[in-house]
Chain A
Amino acid sequence: MKEINVQDITKVVEELCIKACTTLGNDWWQVMDDAISKENSPLAKDILKMLEENAKLAADTGEAICQDTGVAVVFLELGQDVRLIGGDLYDAINEGVRNGYTNGYLRKSVVSDPLLRKNTGDNTPAIIHTEIVPGDNLKIIVAPKGTGSENMSTLKMLKPADGKEGIVNFVLESVKAAGPNPCPPIVVGVGIGGNLERAGYIAKKALLRPLGQKNPLPHVAELEEELIEAVNNIGLGPQGLGGRTTALDVHVEVAPCHIGALPVAVNINCHASRHAEAVL
């Protein structure tokens, strides 16, 4: 049994918050370069180049890519052979978020109560998802999620008879209704199956997959191809001002579900596919 001190987790979460808010992965740069080369509209091309310039500036200066540094969504894959010592796990994570958002000069965007709406002042609490997995490692993924795109996300309980066509239509309706609000080019996470909360959860997890990488299941990868093509034919384009590049990628995750159910969640992300991870 491996021991992990939660103080080490605090330190790692702090670093991941700052890293995720200021740098984007190589996968992002590749799909953006590709989108610029395929874009015909001069304004769309200019906007995409501006977003690349912005990302470079952020990485070089440690400034946040976007002022909406989001709610810190933390995914934990906790090995069942890990023994946590030194304190409470979730307290340690929130301490890491507090330190990251303070020391990284990131915006604090969390209110403690949705009705009373008082800012907590340190971006806590984080939204923490924990999965228990085999082994003795702890994997931590920090994915700051901005609200411009989160507010445009949708969930619908389709009927099994709606099938693939119903799913494609619902995704397209969601992207069209979102319009310019989520700062296209967007990344679309689609969760199909499970139940109400699992569909949303796997849609969010779909956003963590590297851009350009398909689902390993062939029938799901095929649906992803169909969706990215359809989404980029809408014509919204960067910032909704027209063009080909409405989405940088569409990722689909699936889960088993009830014989009478076909839940579909569409979690929309802005161009900044922000996530950073570490393994302890």
Chain B
Amino acid sequence: MSDNLHYFATATQRWAVALPTRLDALIADWEHLRTAMIRRMPSDFSRDEWAYLISFLDGDNLMRPFVEAFGKPTANPESGCDALARPRGTVAVWLPSNVSLLGPLTLILLSLTGNRVRLKASARGNDLTAAFLGFASENLLPGTLRNYISERVALDQFDRHDPRNEELSQDASCRIVFGSDEAANADIRLPHRADSSVYIFSDRRSEAWIEPAIVSDNVVETLIKVFAIYGSAGCTSPSRVVLLDGSEADARQLRDRVVAAWSRIVRRQPAIHLASQNVMTRQWAAALGWDATSTLHNAAVIAVGSTDLPRPTGLMFLPIVAASRDDAVQQLPANIQTIGHAVGNPSDAAWLKMFAPTPVKRFVPLGRMHHFGATWDGWEFWRGMFETMTVES
């Protein structure tokens, strides 16, 4: 019997959530770790990544999934609850094969659900989840979170052909798969329980949509920051900028502002290989017809062109195009995930009408494009980590 029932209520429903630990103690421990993180950063992480993890561990942010799923915390309602939510059991997570913050972020969110978590990292390359767990084990005091991690979290590193994949899949009540379409398809076909649920986070693309009248130094700075973190390698990075109802002159003006501001915003010098690749990308873009410019030290290539031009693939290539709203919608890639906006009125119902027939998963301010949450790629996956028992009196 769980001693840790937590109560929440929306306007229409009263919830009891059964967790294996006290939620307030767990969140307090995460916040304690956050304090240690402010003091020291492991070398595995970039400054941007570490700063984002620190902000993610804010107590209010950790409570948000509960509030969104079950309502505000309340005392034990005298009139009883309408439903009980309990962890589904074991969650298996296939982490992305490249270095990604998604592992640590998913782990943090899953820790709040009380489920057992088994994470599978790629056999090749570094893995930030292992680095983060290592930091946590060094810095957490004995207590709720430390116990949870040691007793209920396991991380293994093996390749996609390893027989342990099958075992991982078979044991899981929930499966979360990050990876390319090909890898995700292979993982979800592994033997699994008939009643298990699966959430697939595979190849995605995102865009930044900006109204020319809204362009300011702040917008330029934000655009540079969200793009510079991962370049085009991030599923939530802008793979292109669309200037809504703008002109090519507007696009060129924005390109020039981005190029001029880049070195002020991104102070690190790119690695030699990256600088070299960017020389290639600029030339490739130009050969294809883009008006492409390199930022200082070949840190990135910012280009202007028409919407029908083929795009070079380059880690730090950011194309800017001018398009009508209708054309922008028509040209959305099938795997669109996030649209980061800098528009006059993002609450206008016209946006919802525009996006209703599209596969867009998120419409968020430019600066929040990378913000991970309990709803991802259109799935309320965090809520899916609980099963529901309905209660009627």
A, B: real partners: no
